[in-house]
Structure 1
């Protein structure tokens, strides 16, 4: 029965990966999902299945897209890497070179690379800032420019769950004069023919799958794994006076959310578009017959920036490169074929993994959210099957 819910193609070599994907439906782990993998720039798995809504009335189709939360960060980082490769952006330079107001609060030495590696000490907003405020670009960036870091920048990472995209995005905007979503669309998505959006046009709303909240109370501070950091009013005030930022998936169904550019968390796409875009990094800067970066520019993603217990993710040890985490890492409990592997994912279960030596890209996107900070056994089991096939 689950096999009937799965559509698309998988090379015979990756039959076990297709079976693993189908098992997610058979075991009741999924409502709707997509998975895609490329090897050497060629698509070897492109599967989708299930339903685009909780009521199971709309099939998940080939062109269904979904909000993938923090997998969006990988797209914003790629846009910054592209500008750096062209010489328009110096990742080692102070952010204030491009965004003068950012120097306030003792941040004059914070570098662009520290923004990319979640080590700038700006994991949230000190001033009250709600999920509704996340659609207000000027407010989000103005408050971040004014506040002081919560720790000495460059000494530790502390996952910048929502702020990351505004920080990198504002640098991109200052450098190019265009919004980060526009730069991403014009310079990356359109040249590659990739159906991924940061700022979704209203005409695409009919293709969006409905996210389904995890069972139980809504997770606080973005995910239950997130630690509280004193003095960050990163949260709404509740009626009892306490504070919590509840990520309400109902808001993701609004036009205001979908149409805004929130380059940390509101990207819309599917596994095919994510894997197609990251095939650029997997294949030395080129994919689909288009070269976007030099090979050296693509491999900059591997440059280590910070390593150690993350101050926000409850002390989980993470190695961050430029915009991606570096494997091996506790957040990716699957052993990659090569150490030159980068990844990141989104709250609820989406995932992007790129092995620059094996020249592979992998992506998973779904609408049934889990409480995991990123990735989850649904995607990991498919990824294991793919890597086992490559090693055979």
Structure 2
């Protein structure tokens, strides 16, 4: 192995040798620190690799069971909770949110539908009033402020990425219908029965196997600052109220919180399994999690548009389904425009492609400057589809 590439452990089917090569190239040429990637094909694991370092000081190797905060890749499992409830007839995606959360009808939101929460079209991309990190950790306060808030735009007409608020909006509906927050619901219904190593937040007893997130390099932080300087008020509210980053996400209080849009912790294997439920049209490991019709609803496009939060960063129109982003013409999740998935701030990704029978999980700890489509993720996705 080149001195520029750390030891890579795990398994890779010979057919997918290009994925291993791309994974190694991420260390060689894209300054990867520690990472893991898992690919499944028709429910069978064909790639399961990990390597590098679990801390910025390079004193701890990334191990098979190392977990890491995956940021917005968590939004897929959060959406899954709501879709399970809808699939069971316990809620209607076309019903007003206020039918389940009466306080939400305030400030002209009585017509906002559950599907608008899932598709970032509720107009609540961020809070207008200052909201501190301490307040973000207060579930009751945050959902009360969202219930009282006035939308930034007419709900249902446009998407605007609900970066921080998504988990509270979707999660409060999950709680009102099921009696449980998304973390507990996901564990009881999905990750527990299937043995998937993924949690919303991280139990204190598991802290010893958590990778330390590393801030982007100085040059990349400069790129982020330049991007933020040009944001509209709604985009600033969505992405910086409050501002959070690697240092906060490494803290015990972050890991102890319920942040269903932001603080899922897991292995690449776990992410591939959770998105594999969708790639397998609702079945994983012999457990029927969703009906095939429910999986189709997850990727039901809600209309392509220039996202009101991410539009400047992408420089193109995008389309979100009911909880996950569609690959579209740009191929963010491979060449199938109906493949779908979610990226996490700094690089991580979950991908599902029912037509190809493929799912992928990619997790890492050196954060790049990208909200989505990190070059490391893109290289891995291209290698997966090149091998099919």
Residue of structure 1 equivalent to 2:259: 262
The alpha-carbon deviation at position 247 of structure 1 amounts to 2.3
Residue of structure 2 equivalent to 1:143: 145
Residue of structure 2 equivalent to 1:228: 231
Q: Which moved more, 1:225-234 or 1:343-352?
A: 225-234
Structure 2 unmatched runs, 5+: none
Q: Does 1:199 align with 2:201?
A: yes
Q: Residue 42 of structure 1 is aligned with which of 41, 44, 60?
A: 44
Q: TM-score normalised to the size of structure 1?
A: 0.92
Contact 2:100 2:177 in 1 (8 A): yes
C-alpha distance in 2, partners of 1:22/1:71? 22
1:371-386 matched pairs, under 5 angstroms: 371-386=369-384
Q: Deviations over 1:14-49 (max 9, x none)?
A: 011111101111225200000011111111111000
C-alpha distance in 2, partners of 1:201/1:148? 35
Q: Residue 363 of structure 1 is aligned with which of 352, 361, 364?
A: 361
**RMSD, aligned CA:** 2.2
C-alpha distance in 1, partners of 2:225/2:65? 28
Q: Residue 300 of structure 1 is aligned with which of 297, 302, 321?
A: 297
Q: TM-score normalised to the size of structure 2?
A: 0.93
C-alpha distance in 2, partners of 1:370/1:71? 15
C-alpha distance in 2, partners of 1:226/1:38? 40
Contact 2:338 2:353 in 1 (8 A): yes
Paired residues, number: 382
The alpha-carbon deviation at position 228 of structure 1 amounts to 3.3
C-alpha distance in 1, partners of 2:172/2:186? 13
Cα 1:221–1:113 shift into 2, 3 Å:
farther
Structure 1 unmatched runs, 5+: 237-242
Residue of structure 1 equivalent to 2:308: 311
Q: Deviations over 1:243-280 (max 9, x none)?
A: 87432311112111001110011111121000011111
Contact 2:235 2:308 in 1 (8 A): no
Cα 1:232–1:314 shift into 2, 3 Å:
closer
C-alpha distance in 1, partners of 2:326/2:51? 30
C-alpha distance in 2, partners of 1:273/1:97? 34
Contact 1:349 1:370 in 2 (8 A): yes
Q: Does 1:213 align with 2:211?
A: no
Cα 1:97–1:363 shift into 2, 3 Å:
same
C-alpha distance in 2, partners of 1:98/1:353? 30
Contact 2:311 2:317 in 1 (8 A): no
The alpha-carbon deviation at position 329 of structure 1 amounts to 5.0
* Partner SS state of residue 150, structure 1: coil
C-alpha distance in 1, partners of 2:131/2:171? 18
Cα 1:287–1:231 shift into 2, 3 Å:
closer
Q: Deviations over 1:255-312 (max 9, x none)?
A: 1100111001111112100001111111121011211111111221121113200011
C-alpha distance in 2, partners of 1:116/1:234? 19
C-alpha distance in 1, partners of 2:304/2:86? 23
C-alpha distance in 1, partners of 2:130/2:178? 30
Contact 1:14 1:386 in 2 (8 A): yes
Q: Does 1:80 align with 2:82?
A: yes
Residue of structure 2 equivalent to 1:101: 103
More helix per residue: 2
C-alpha distance in 1, partners of 2:289/2:214? 35
Contact 2:334 2:381 in 1 (8 A): no
1:144-159 matched pairs, under 5 angstroms: 144-159=146-161
C-alpha distance in 2, partners of 1:29/1:348? 13
Q: Which moved more, 1:126-135 or 1:358-367?
A: 126-135
Contact 1:161 1:222 in 2 (8 A): no
The alpha-carbon deviation at position 375 of structure 1 amounts to 3.4
The alpha-carbon deviation at position 11 of structure 1 amounts to 0.6
C-alpha distance in 1, partners of 2:65/2:54? 11
